[in-house]
Amino acid sequence: MDNVSSCLRNNDYINAIAAVCHVNAVFGGENRIEFNTTKYHQLTNATLMKVCYHCKNETSSQDVRIRHLMLPFIESVLYKNKFRDCWDCPKCKKLNYLDVTDFVQETFTTPRYLGVVPEPPKIQYGIVGRKDFEMQARNWIRLALDEISFSLGVERREYVPVSDRDEMIDDDDND
């Protein structure tokens, strides 16, 4: 971790990223942080939920198919449109109109340790690319260090010194 801090003080972001990867490599398999941009975005995406007017069930917007319902003449005059968007609740199977549907947005809460961070940023050449890289690198390093700190805490809780392990084995033999 000292190497990461030293690299950041010297604005050496490439070596700071490498140092973060080296610290991560020390962890055991289940506590090692995964570098996967797609998986990270899937886990942190905010989800928009539709609330059924009838049963109050929340359903993901991605799981609902919107239909265009053709309105009778009188309703089409009232709504100034021949069609009205609607969807069927998967739980109660009743019709809901989209224009009167309540929406709830589930957001990603922090701190939340996922064990995965996006892949490290890559340097782009040119003045604009260099400035963007510095900002992206600082953000990535901060996110990765947060995850690594959490994993370090987990490793410490799981760690049992050799002397304690011997006592635990002896206790099991006495039973």
Q: Give the helix ranges, DSSP H, for 11-126.
A: 13-26, 37-44, 73-79
Q: Where are the domains of the chain?
A: 2-44+109-159, 47-106
Q: Give the helix ranges, DSSP H, for 67-126.
A: 73-79
How far apart CA 23 and CA 161 sit, in angstroms, is 21
User: pLDDT tens digits for the chain (175 residues)?
Assistant: 677 888 888 888 888 888 888 888 887 777 788 888 888 887 777 678 899 989 988 888 878 888 888 888 888 888 888 988 999 998 999 999 888 888 887 766 566 678 888 898 888 776 666 678 888 888 888 888 888 888 887 777 766 665 665 555 555 555 4
pLDDT given at position 55: 92
Q: Bin 93: left if φ > 0, else alpha if -120 < ψ < 50, else beta.
A: left
The total number of residues shown for the chain amounts to 175
* β-sheet bridge partners, residue 95: 88
List the CATH code of the domain at 47-106: 2.20.25
How far apart CA 7 and CA 10 sit, in angstroms, is 5
pTM of full prediction above 0.85: no
Any idea which residue has 């090692």 for tokens?
Answer: 32
User: Do 148 and 23 meet the contact criterion of CB atoms below 8 Å apart?
Assistant: yes
Residues 91-141 pLDDT 10s: 999 999 888 888 887 766 566 678 888 898 888 776 666 678 888 888 888
CA 64 to chain centre: 22
User: Do 27 and 155 meet the contact criterion of CB atoms below 8 Å apart?
Assistant: yes
